[in-house]
Amino acid sequence: MRIRRCSILLLEPREETTFDLEALLGGGNGLHSEQSWLALAPHLDAPLKVSIEERELLGRLSPTEWVDTKALAGDGSTVRQLLKTGLLIARGKRHAAHRERDERLRETHWHPLAATFHAFTRWSTLDTVQGMRDSGTETPEQMRAAFGPPPVAAPSRGEASSSLSLPRAEPTAFDELLGRRVTCRNFDAARPLPRALFAQLLQRVFSVQAEVHACEDTVFVKKTSPSGGGLHPVEAYLLVQNVDGVAPGLYHYHALDHALELMSMPTLPLREFAMQAVAHQHWFADAHVLVVLAPRFDRTFWKYRHHAKAYRVIALEAGHLSQTLYLSATEAGLGAFITGAINEVPIEQALGLDPVRDGALAICGFGWRGEAMETAELDPVGAVWEAAAER
Ligand SMILES: Cc1cc2nc3c(=O)[nH]c(=O)nc-3n(C[C@H](O)[C@H](O)[C@H](O)COP(=O)(O)O)c2cc1C
């Protein structure tokens, strides 16, 4: 049988510390620490513990050159174990599942560190709200008590005497719009969003404004946000909850056709799926529309192959789209949000995304603001809440 090492593999010496009652009763600090080697291979779902023998063999095998297992006769049981876990790749039907995932990783041209980071920072069932409750870090006061003071809000650099004061400009309508951009955590779930407003926002933020055909099959596009290489890899998948004339459900937004493509319903009821997706942040789960920002990594990595900055660029692009959405929503009298605290795994399962090629990076959303601020928003000058009360 011919084998080779998987394409991307990082080895981490990890210390795991657990509470040990016996250690405490014996007069120690009650903590038991264990060291082990973990293999982080992004074509697999989880890190794997490896033995010293496995680690050594992985270091001897090439990720590109196939070798015959006959040449590794002395390492038979180690080879078998590594084949079973998928860290070694073999030809033949029995090993097809791991080999195909490894092939997809090779074909997508990931930078190895980015691929590893992406694969092992995904969540499945996290409840961030419970997490903050458990750690007693829900309010700024609790955070201050638990963590001490944060680094200052605006640091000074250089000599104070060389500081050059700048003139402040008179505010324009654009400044007023920027001032009203406040992350919305209070949506009015009872008030449907008009279909025309919903469509206008999607057109402004996610639709293709113009196409550039470099060759027949090589098309770059223009949108209202910037994108590395003009590739625009970030797809918008919509979880529509409360829009007039649009049935609640999951949709893919077709950026050229400006059209919704209906996807299968998730296995959970839609509101529960929304809660799971935003890691139980109930203040976002009521939004009229949630938008999963899901980049097609293969489109950007087509140009920026094994590129150290490409993943970072894609994350920045998601941020740009979010800001355009915030401003478009604000201009339309709506609230908007973004969250990076998402459970990617169930989202990808529901949308049929393979995180090697594409995957959820963040969720943003928009809708009508509620009448009352039940969950805190950062509106210190009252641009949204005091202004609404005065109206
Ligand atoms: C990338 C990103 C991720 C964020 N994730 C969360 C989040 O998980 N939960 C949340 O309540 N707010 C989240 N926010 C919103 C910030 O908390 C918010 O921007 C900040 O409090 C400043 O308030 P403002 O947006 O109203 O100016 C996120 C913002 C950004 C830019």
Q: Domain 176-390: which topology?
A: NADH Oxidase (3.40.109)
What pLDDT shows up at residue 390?
Answer: 85
Question: What is the reported pTM?
Answer: 0.95
Ligand 1 atom, smallest distance to 284 CA: 11
Structural tokens at position 104: 């997809």
Ligand 1 atom, smallest distance to 183 CA: 26
Q: Measure 271 CA to ligand 1 centroid, in angstroms.
A: 21
pLDDT of 337 above 90: yes
What pLDDT shows up at residue 277?
Answer: 98
Domain assignments of the chain as residue spans, ordered by start: 2-108, 176-390
Confidence of residue 51 (pLDDT cuts 50, 70, 90): very high
pLDDT in tens, 94-152: 999 999 999 999 999 999 999 999 999 999 999 999 999 999 999 999 999 999 999 99
pLDDT of 73 above 90: no
What pLDDT shows up at residue 29?
Answer: 84
Residue pair 210/221 in contact (Cβ under 8 Å)? The answer is yes
Cα–Cα distance, 133 to 139 (Å, whole number):
10
What pLDDT shows up at residue 141?
Answer: 95
What pLDDT shows up at residue 19?
Answer: 87
What pLDDT shows up at residue 289?
Answer: 98
Q: Measure 338 CA to ligand 1 centroid, in angstroms.
A: 6
User: Rounded mean pLDDT of 285-299?
Assistant: 98
Q: Measure 327 CA to ligand 1 centroid, in angstroms.
A: 14
What pLDDT shows up at residue 58?
Answer: 97
pLDDT of 224 above 90: yes
Q: Measure 350 CA to ligand 1 centroid, in angstroms.
A: 25
- The protein residue whose alpha carbon is closest to atom 7 in ligand 1 is 339
SS (H, E, C) 200-244: HHHHHHHCCCEEEEEECCEEEEECCCCCHHHCCCEEEEEEECCEC
Q: Measure 183 CA to ligand 1 centroid, in angstroms.
A: 7
Residue pair 220/214 in contact (Cβ under 8 Å)? The answer is yes
Mean pLDDT of the chain: 96
What pLDDT shows up at residue 97?
Answer: 97
Residue pair 45/97 in contact (Cβ under 8 Å)? The answer is no
Q: Which helix (H) or strand (E) holds 27?
A: none
Best residue among 290, 337, 369 to mutate for probing ligand 1, ranked by most atoms within 8 Å of CB = 337
What pLDDT shows up at residue 250?
Answer: 98
What pLDDT shows up at residue 85?
Answer: 97
Residue pair 258/203 in contact (Cβ under 8 Å)? The answer is yes
Q: Is the CB of 140 under 6 A from ligand 1?
A: no
Q: Is the CB of 340 under 6 A from ligand 1?
A: yes
What pLDDT shows up at residue 115?
Answer: 98
Q: Is the CB of 338 under 6 A from ligand 1?
A: yes
Confidence of residue 20 (pLDDT cuts 50, 70, 90): confident
Ligand 1 atom, smallest distance to 182 CA: 26
What pLDDT shows up at residue 26?
Answer: 84
pLDDT of 226 above 90: yes
What pLDDT shows up at residue 30?
Answer: 87
Q: Is the CB of 339 under 6 A from ligand 1?
A: yes
- The protein residue whose alpha carbon is closest to atom 19 in ligand 1 is 183
Looking at per-residue pLDDT, the higher value among 32 and 193 belongs to 193
Confidence of residue 25 (pLDDT cuts 50, 70, 90): confident
Q: Is the CB of 182 under 6 A from ligand 1?
A: yes
